[in-house]
Amino acid sequence: MVENVVIIGSGPAGWSAAIYASRANLQPVLFEGTLKPEMMPLGQLALTTEVENFAGFPAGNLRAFVESAVDASRHYNLPPVPKGHERDGQPHYAVQGVELMELMKQQALNFGTRVIGDDIVDVDFDHRPLKVIPAEEAPVETHTVIVATGARANYLGLPSEEKFKNRGVSACAVCDGALPRFRNKPLAVVGGGDSAVEEATYLTAFASKVFLIHRRDELRASKIMQRRALENPKIEMVWSHVVDEVLGNDQDGVTGLRLKSTKDDAPRELEVAGMFASIGHTPNTAFLRGKLEMNEKGYLKWTSPFRTLTSVEGVFAAGDVADDYYRQAITSAGTGCMAALDAERYLAAQEK
């Protein structure tokens, strides 16, 4: 049997593509990516707590809706309602990353998407039909493929950093900067490229002060971005230092950072309420090397403006895997929709 559409990835891009493709009666098969440790079933949003910027999910009594909408067998995935989430005596609750993703998954299942908990480890795009090869299941032949495998934020790799993820450690200022825990507090950004400067500048809107910590004594960022950082009175450069440990406690989360000089190893402590790692992302495209055109950072290339087409006919790319610029859940969902429509039109043109 040759499938119409195989979707690789279970983040916002994958589920949105699945919702559109299954609603168009294409009976898509979606590979979730669950086996290897670097996989993230339900995508990167499953790593975060409150999502305040996905349109359609204002804070309120969302939890009751989520529980009634998601199949009871998957409620174990849903975090408990945090205590004290009330405002003016009414439930006040922002959707959690996992809940949003479970809702997307349920919506795709409702229209008949078939979900396989396996990783794709190889593909054959040289022959027709196309072929995707999972780690454990049998290879699947298909007329179209939508790659929605995302990109992983790079972290420093410290155990203390892991411990305080979602409690002061983040890798996305646009996603988390406006959260109450960071408002009017000193924060730190780690990195030296354009995105580190962008994140630091963005955070100055909320923070009392932003330390930009860089291992060298000059930024890698473009000249204009460097000027932006150096001239911003709320940004203080911390040159020639690396983070040795994230400091904090169970109650407050992050309270500071222990740094080490890259010149003479001298220790230094900074009092901050948050640390934003801004040291790049790794797109999940290793299994596609040599099979699809990529840019120098390994992101898939869209070969046509405002379309999700890749260098191979019938293969489409959606979400962060093809976008190293916006990297948001809503933009990923948007391009997931586009990829499904592109696949549907391709199939119609081929009379498949």
Ligand X SMILES: Cc1cc2nc3c(=O)[nH]c(=O)nc-3n(C[C@H](O)[C@H](O)[C@H](O)COP(=O)(O)OP(=O)(O)OC[C@H]3O[C@@H](n4cnc5c(N)ncnc54)[C@H](O)[C@@H]3O)c2cc1C
Q: Element (H or E) spanning 69, and its range? A: helix 62-69
Q: Which residues contact 351 (CB under 8 A, 6 or more apart)?
A: none
Quickly tell me which residue has 């790659």 as its tokens. Answer: 147
Q: Which is nearer to ligand X, 161 or 241 (CB)?
A: 161
Quickly tell me which residue has 């498949």 as its tokens. Answer: 352
Which residues share a beta bridge with 267? 260
Task: Output phi, psi for 244, to 5 deg.
Answer: -95, -35
Closest contact distance (angstroms) between CB of 230 and ligand X is 28
User: What order of strands is seen across the sheet that includes strand 241-249?
Assistant: 241-249, 253-261, 267-271
Give residues in contact with ligand X (CB under 6 A).
8-14, 31-33, 39-41, 43-45, 47-48, 51, 53-54, 119-120, 148-150, 153, 170-172, 175, 284, 287, 319-321, 327-330, 332
Evaluate whether 183 touches 203 at the Cβ level (below 8 Å): no
Q: Which is nearer to ligand X, 120 or 130 (CB)?
A: 120
Closest to 250 measured CA to CA, from 164, 150, 175 = 164
What's the DSSP call for residue 8?
Answer: E
Instruction: Identify whether 337 is a catalytic site residue.
Output: no
Q: Which is nearer to ligand X, 261 or 334 (CB)?
A: 334
Q: From the candidates 118, 119, 176, 342, give the one annotated as an active-site residue.
A: 176
Task: Output phi, psi for 95, to 5 deg.
Answer: -60, 140
Q: From the candidates 175, 320, 323, 337, give the one annotated as an active-site residue.
A: 175
Evaluate whether 4 touches 28 at the Cβ level (below 8 Å): yes
Instruction: Identify whether 175 is a catalytic site residue.
Output: yes
Residue 295 CA: distances (Å) to CA of 75, 153, 253: 40, 17, 38
- Tell me the C-alpha distance between 57 and 156, whole Å: 32
Active-site residues, by number, are 172, 175-176
